Amino acid sequence: MKITKIEIQKKDKNRVNLFIDNEFYSGLSLESVIKNHLKEDQDISNHQLEFLKNESEFSVAYTKAGNILSKMQKTEKEVKDYLFKKGFEAQVVFGVVDKLKSLGYINDATYAKNFVKVKSRKCGGKKITFELSRKGVKDNLINENIEKIQNSKQTAEKLLEKYLKNKERDIKTKQKAYRFLFSRGFDGDDVFAVLNKFFKEE
């Protein structure tokens, strides 16, 4: 087999279209082409082509993952889901994620710690647990950090005080306040204790 054409893509100057025996084979990163000294009229094997394709896809996927991680911390599952959605194959996705984990750019333990620290200012443990689980964080990491939440009752109290501002303290408001606190994921005992502080016994 022979490389018959290498052309820069019109929409992305960092990628090229590779033609083998006058037929389009695949898109490759320009970096991969330069690194491997590819040129037209060069003989190439199936094994070499497969290697080049995987190397190029890895480079592109790594860059895309790096871009989203530079904007916001993500869990391992979130990065995998993002790359799969972009159409990358499993071999590339898992390879990229493993490299990012080894470099410390993906760390679910750190993510869970920071997430709980921020969210516990406005939410209870149940909602935080649900959200972390949805993001693919393992149960042991979730439980380890949920146990560290302090002053959950005081947080619910502050939120309810703000919620009730300029509202009449009647039974309908109490029912809405009940739903409000439960929607924020606070424990039942904390919810009832806080409600009893702000409302007369019904």
Domain boundaries of the chain, sorted by first residue: 3-102, 108-146, 152-198
**86-107 per-position pLDDT tens digit:** 988 899 999 999 999 999 999 9
How many angstroms separate the Cα of 57 from the Cα of each of 23, 64, 121, 181, 182?
20, 11, 41, 47, 45
Asked whether the predicted pLDDT for residue 202 surpasses 60, the reply is no
Angstrom distance (rounded) from CA 99 to CA 105 = 9
- Among 141, 157, 145, 147, residue whose Cα is nearest residue 191: 157
How much is the pTM?
Answer: 0.78
Give the CATH number of domain 3-102; options: 1.10.10.10, 3.50.50.60, 3.30.1490.20, 3.40.50.300: 1.10.10.10
Could you identify the residue written with the tokens 């309908």?
172
**27-86 per-position pLDDT tens digit:** 888 888 888 888 888 888 888 888 888 888 898 899 999 999 999 999 999 999 999 999
**102-154 per-position pLDDT tens digit:** 999 999 999 999 999 999 999 999 999 999 999 999 999 999 999 888 888 89
